[in-house]
Amino acid sequence: MTTTGVPPFHVHPGHLFEGFELLERERETPVLLARCSCGEVLDTAQARFARCPGCHASGGGCARCAGTGRVVDHAALEWTCMI
């Protein structure tokens, strides 16, 4: 079976994946950064959001979305290689 689509973000050999960082600037498209444990940015993607399934976008004290009503839609991300 062959699949098509955008591959996941890259990692540095022998390094751990540190996590994601969401950059939101006024009047700009939010950007998601994938970071290596060494501090380098591995790849970037324009952030895509979905309605929070935890609170159904009602906000409040939702632990999943921190009250924003939205979560990152990981399936919709298209990563751009930085390494």
Query: Mind listing the pLDDT tens digit of every residue in the chain (83 residues)?
Result: 444 545 566 778 888 889 999 999 999 999 999 999 999 998 999 999 999 998 988 867 899 998 889 999 989 999 887 66
Q: Tell me which residue of 59, 27, 53 sits closest to 72, measured CA to CA.
A: 53
Distance from C-alpha of 77 to C-alpha of 69, rounded to nearest angstrom: 19
**CA-to-CA dists, residue 23 to 33, 44, 53, 61, angstroms:** 8, 10, 22, 22
